[in-house]
Structure 1
Amino acid sequence: MKLGLQLGYWAAQPPANAQELVTEADRSGFDAVFSAESWGNDAFTPLAWWGSSTERIRLGTSVAQLSARTPTAAAMHALTLDHLSGGRAILGLGVSGPQVVEGWYGEPFEKPLARTREYVSIIRKVLAREAPVTNDGPHHPLPYSGPGALGLGKPLKPITHPLRADLPIWLGAEGPKNVALTAEIADGWLAIYYTPRLADMYNEWLDEGFARPGARRSREDFEIAATCQVVVTDDRAGEIARMKPITALYVGGMGAAEMNFHAQVYTRMGYGDVVTEIQRLFLSGRKEEAMSIVPDEMVTDTMIIGNGDEVRQQLKVWEDAGVTMLLVHARDVEQMRQLASVVNPA
């Protein structure tokens, strides 16, 4: 089992000890470090800044939002980071949600699957650098010839030769159609709120994608990186209680009541009734009450919490389910060393 350090996106200020964590991740055997974006910091700059002091760890976005930049701009970011890091970049992409896409980026959210397919296809063309990049699709036409165009657009190849034409592209996906698309066109799946209990269901979605004509990967060379808080503790109950506000926030507040992808994930897990109640309370401003009704199982289904032996037993369950990397948060260097020693003991 590989470990990835998930730095996430910033709150009001940059995290104070991020450089220390990234340096320790590189030193203690973590496979990758990931940075995210929401509507504050971007996902690429932290990797270039903090990653410049590392030697071996991979540097990934988890995720860069599709609507934040055109596909050619995303390819420019990725090829730049790949050169600067000596071939260690992972381009993790995701569609985000309609509140962010339409409210922050001013773009339509409709047809996210078609937009993703087109976006990834253009990036592949940029990285391959085999011909000037063109695209006939409706979402990102190249050259642009729509309203306001001067008709002078010219197909171009990147001036800078990409270091790797096969720079890995991973997709953040939650629903069945998006996961199947990920298996078809991507090199890895960034899974949020994954639970081994539903591994058979996820594998059906993935197998649908792998079986499609022209699928890029097979199960044997496809990576599944699951966000999973791993906490080694003798106070399991106390740690579960501390995690409940995070679960309530994402289920109840990260999306509209009629379209919250995180809530849909937990509904598929069998928590539909409690999800509805959490959303009702959270969106009416009763956040403390929403947090209080989160059952323990909603936390432990998607996280690993316990003493060293319990954590090692659960790691085997996740690995047997097909997960190849756990994306973990860490508050300090000592916790990172503890995680590394438990997950991959010498």
Structure 2
Amino acid sequence: MALLCTTAFAQHAPSLVKVAGVQADGGVTTSVATIPYSAYASPQARAFFPQMIAAGSKAPPLSAPIAQNRDFYDRLNSDRAKRMGKLYPVTTHRETIAGVGTDVVLPAQGIAAKNRRRVLINLHGGAFLWGAHSGALVESIPIASLGRIKVVSVDYRQGPEHVFPAASEDVEAVYRALLKRYPAKNIGIYGCSAGGVLTGEAVAWIISKKLPVPGAIGTFCGSISELAGDSTYLAPVLNGDPSPAGPHKLVDLPYFKGASASDPLVFPANSPALLEKFPPTLLITGTRDFTMSSVLHSQALLTAAGADAELHVWDGMWHSFFSDPEMPESREAYAVMVSFFDRKLGR
């Protein structure tokens, strides 16, 4: 029935993609296509999309010297954090917790009464290579301000200087310290991109250490599964790049040198028994995010294991889209995050 409906619709729709052939394994060969930007995205997103693509084209390749990448993304994220601070007032300070550096972000209007016994741990993105401090502020400022809650962003060890499980160990150290001041059910952990992956790894690590699990977590634009699926091929095309010969594997990043992709502490998706113990999980992605398929797969696995997994997908949005605060979609994402932790922490 679905195939008939699709065929009938195609007869009345403009043909933007010419299918040259369908392979036996399901692969599809197409001609060059013109793909319109999402009709469901906001005018602000439509205007910002070309600017985002242009800015991204200036990024150094992953193979560039690490200092070059860190400088580039620090400038990018510092600008974002400055813009966010004007929209979402906060105060920030550096604090060492259990020997680990952190950025503590507090709402300028004060912590809400209901959140005085709650805290969020943020794990910043950046390919396990960059993102400390400025990237952490980008992910923490709107949530701390809108949620009126304390956010502690962990400056975890990254590659290439450090390898797995260094970051998980750092999160564990901070988490243990916060457990002395907050009940586990009142602690949330969240992150975007590499931080979303690390959030899943950290929960698996916490479970392996027989610590109480946090009250809720958020894995955004990266989750508990390795990168694979349609979005690894389609998202680059939707963002103006050629479709790759194959997906870029997370396990190939310098941080995972020597680690095994089959290890549940690297990818918790490998263990249904482990996922049964996961706390309520919020998953966020966009249809132009190369990690979308892995995020969808992660939600399906968590649900199958009996975990409480809530998924939100924004049409036309790219990887880490809410790092730029001016779009309505970003504000919607912040509201979803704040509401989720408000509903789940303490239960």
Give the TM-score, by structure 2 length: 0.32
Give the TM-score, by structure 1 length: 0.32
- Which structure ranks higher in relative contact order (CA pairs < 8 Å, sequence separation ≥ 6)? 1
Higher share of residues assigned helix: 1
Higher share of residues assigned strand: 2
